Structure 1
């Protein structure tokens, strides 16, 4: 799990097919504004799966739909259909929100709990602490 989620982008301001995701995959898709909300979501799923399968050392061969969309959330087009969130996705969203609250000084939990959360999310990093995340 990445420490911070990928942010949603405003694709409405980007020229069609201006970003090369893969040699044969350009984003946002041509005429995407004419697609139905479900077709827009399907385009995101297709691009996400293509990117996942394009990784040479991908350990994620058949990702769950909600994880796939959430992992490539930055590709979601305006007006796309909503997508289902399973419990793992909800847990990731709550974790991200907790990190955001800690970084913004809005988390009311004890300092030791905040520090424990940061250490649990980055077990290989010895520099992980509230001090390091709030200094970003």
Structure 2
């Protein structure tokens, strides 16, 4: 699991179903703006589970909801419901907030500490990197 979730993307700026996540799964979901916040979160969980199942080649692998959402955080649609936080992802959220603070110039720590934090972060898995390459043109939401 990466040390921080991938940045959310501004899905409001792209055409619906414009990114192929899997051969039979396009993103962002069709008519996502009409979905309730809970349905938007469910769509992210469904896409995440589908990707994870394809990656693991197993129908028995059932990861925790928080793992799915945090691992595929870049798929979260604007206006989605809040997602569950247990003890495991809290450190990732704090690390992510530190990155946001660095990006926005709000981090008051010395530059060397900021640089050390950025160098220490674990790279994403191969499948996530491939998906991130596909959505590289979509603006990041900070």
When normalised by structure 1's length, the TM-score is 0.69
Tell me: CA distance 1:67–1:92, structure 2 relative to 1, closer, same or farther (3 Å). Answer: same
Q: Which runs of 5+ in 2 are unaligned?
A: 123-142
Tell me: CA distance 1:98–1:9, structure 2 relative to 1, closer, same or farther (3 Å). Answer: closer
Say yes or no: does 1:76 pair with 2:76. Answer: yes
**Alignment partner, residue 33 of structure 2:** 33
Equivalent runs, 1:61-72 vs 2, <5 Å: 61-72=61-72
- Given that 1:25 and 1:47 are in contact with CA atoms closer than 8 Å, whether structure 2 keeps it comes out as yes
Say yes or no: does 1:90 pair with 2:90. Answer: yes
SS of residue matched to 1:21: strand
- Distance of 2:26 and 2:94 partners within structure 1: 32
Q: Which runs of 5+ in 1 are unaligned?
A: 123-136
Q: Write out per-residue CA displacement over residues 20-45 of structure 1, whole angstroms, 9 at most, x where no aligned residue.
A: 00000000011111111110000000
- Distance of 1:44 and 1:64 partners within structure 2: 14
**Alignment partner, residue 125 of structure 1:** none
Match among 102, 109, 120 for residue 107 of structure 1: 109
Say yes or no: does 1:50 pair with 2:50. Answer: yes
When normalised by structure 2's length, the TM-score is 0.66
Tell me which structure has the larger Cα radius of gyration: 1
Deviation of 1:91 after TM superposition, in Å, equals 1.8
RMSD: 3.1
